[in-house]
Structure 1
Amino acid sequence: MTYHAKVIAGGKIVIPADLRRELGIKDGDSVIIDRDASGAMVLKTHAQIVREVQDIFRPFRDPARGIVDELLAGRREEQKRESDAADAASAA
């Protein structure tokens, strides 16, 4: 569906109410204006950007482990390296 919006004083654009409802945009929400490869303007919601970033990083996740488990495992490895380095320094 195509919508029409007019640029008013100060460069403001009023997003048509039907489109705001469809996209779940409420007063005070932030939107992102991007340009695609052809130079066309693309309006995205915060939720759309979050989903895009999640999609980018999804292939790097281990499906057998949750993100919290991955973060905790990484922190434990870091603590072990720090402890091993401290032990080596005190033995020297």
Structure 2
Amino acid sequence: MPSLGMDATLKVGPQGRIVIPSDVRKALKLVPGDRLHLHLSGRRLTLERQQDAVAELRGLGAAVPDSRSLVDELLDERRRAAAHE
């Protein structure tokens, strides 16, 4: 998703809840009941729509040719590692 160029300061409520400002919700087309994916990397927290996270992962997998089996590669790697133990 392209950057929308928005910033917001959020306040953590007494129960750990945050409110996403209405202009941000509108820009992202968030509606009540939408699920968000939270990713913590170091001290950086990222929230994204769950469907966007899934689409990004599917996009990564789409670059793998059908002739390549990642499962077979993983199994081969595990077998080689077990043989050296």
Do Structure 1 and Structure 2 share a fold, with TM-score over 0.5?
yes
Q: CA RMSD in A?
A: 1.5
Q: What amino acid does structure 1 have at the position aligned with 2:10?
A: A
What is the TM-score when the length of structure 2 is the normalising length? 0.62
Which of 14, 18, 31 is matched with 2:19 structurally? 14
Give the length in aligned residue pairs: 61
Where is the helix percentage greater, Structure 1 or Structure 2?
A: 1
- Residues in 1 aligned to 2:23 and 2:44: alpha-carbon distance in whole angstroms: 22
Give TM-score, length-normalised by structure 1: 0.58
Greater RCO, 1 or 2 (C-alpha within 8 Å, sep 6+): 2
Structure 1 counterpart SS, 2:47: strand
* Structure 1, gaps ≥5 residues long: 63-92
Larger Rg: 1
- Structure 2 residue runs of 5 or longer lacking an equivalent are 1-5, 67-85
